[in-house]
Structure 1
Amino acid sequence: MRELITSSKGPQPRFLYTPCVKNGPLGVVSGMVALDPDSGKLIDGDVATQTQRIFDNLHLALPDYGFAMSELMLARIYTTCMDQFPRVNEVWERQFTQIAPPARTSVGVSALPLGALVEIEFMFQQS
């Protein structure tokens, strides 16, 4: 059964979408950009700073979504800064020092919502 999940701990959606859709053991977290959890506005900063904020926001919301980072199966990274992708990778690698990283797709794009430099969507599967 499909379940639509929100979290009050992270930034609230700026547009009409469901932050997390869960169906049985599977869950998909909508693409996240680097929103400040208090103001809901895109943070200032380079691609690494924005990538870290996305992971920080994910960690805030995961308890409400009912998933753990160890259950992360797939991440899709979209960025307008492919020339700076090593900076994204630095942040990425810090997230997975204690657990195996998921499968990943990385895509260079010309623009992202709100002028973000990076957006990441996630797919989880509970064991």
Structure 2
Amino acid sequence: MNRKIIFTENAPGAIGYYSQAIASNGLVYTAGQIPLDPQTGEIVSSDFSEQVKQTLNNIESVLVASGTDLSKSIKLTVFITNLSNYPELNAVFKKQFDGIDPPARSVVEVSALPKDVSIEIDCIAAL
């Protein structure tokens, strides 16, 4: 099995003991990304839609460092702290994936996320 660790300064660094992503056998598996500004390490906003946008931007940065992008995403798992934000989540996803087939997606409500953010997303994408 081939396995390559992916790292980019264009996405937040790991806040624990894990890699930003691993590429293996034609796929890339990202770690969960949260809405941190990669330069400051701070949460971008308390606004849920802005948190979704930044989280997707962080995923995109990791995917680009892997040699792919969101258009080749296969599956996203989204963790949110309040399911009442689901319509906003869908609106941001619709804009982000406009013109391309959206990936498969699961959305799971959780009680808390690192740094008290409202969203975390991980992704599997084709290389």
Structure-1-length-normalised TM-score: 0.93
Unaligned ranges ≥5, structure 1: none
Partner of 1:92: 93
> In the TM superposition, what are the counterparts of 1:24-43 in structure 2 within 5 Å?
24-43=25-44
Q: Please give the per-residue CA displacement for 1:77-124, whole angstroms capped at 9, x wherever unaligned.
A: 100010121111111111111210000000011101110100000001
Structure 1 Cα separation of the partners of residues 125 and 3 of structure 2 = 14
SS at match of 1:4: strand
The alignment status of 1:119 with 2:120, answered yes or no, reads yes
- Confirm or deny: 8 A CA contact 1:79 1:117 kept in the other structure: yes
Structure 2 Cα separation of the partners of residues 43 and 10 of structure 1 = 13
Structure 2 Cα separation of the partners of residues 95 and 17 of structure 1 = 27
Structure 2 Cα separation of the partners of residues 89 and 21 of structure 1 = 27
Question: Counterpart of 2:7 in structure 1: which amino acid?
Answer: T
The alignment status of 1:62 with 2:30, answered yes or no, reads no
- Confirm or deny: 8 A CA contact 1:77 1:105 kept in the other structure: yes
Question: Counterpart of 1:48 in structure 2: which amino acid?
Answer: S
Identical positions, percent: 28
Shift of 1:61: 2.9
Deviation >3 Å, runs of 4+: none
For the aligned residues, what is the CA RMSD?
A: 1.2
> In the TM superposition, what are the counterparts of 1:40-51 in structure 2 within 5 Å?
40-51=41-52
Shift of 1:59: 2.6
- Confirm or deny: 8 A CA contact 2:30 2:123 kept in the other structure: yes
- Confirm or deny: 8 A CA contact 2:23 2:29 kept in the other structure: yes
| More off after superposition, 99-108 vs 49-58 | 49-58
- Confirm or deny: 8 A CA contact 2:78 2:119 kept in the other structure: yes
Structure 1 Cα separation of the partners of residues 100 and 35 of structure 2 = 23
Unaligned ranges ≥5, structure 2: none
Shift of 1:7: 0.7
Partner of 1:71: 72
SS at match of 1:74: strand
Question: Counterpart of 1:60 in structure 2: which amino acid?
Answer: S
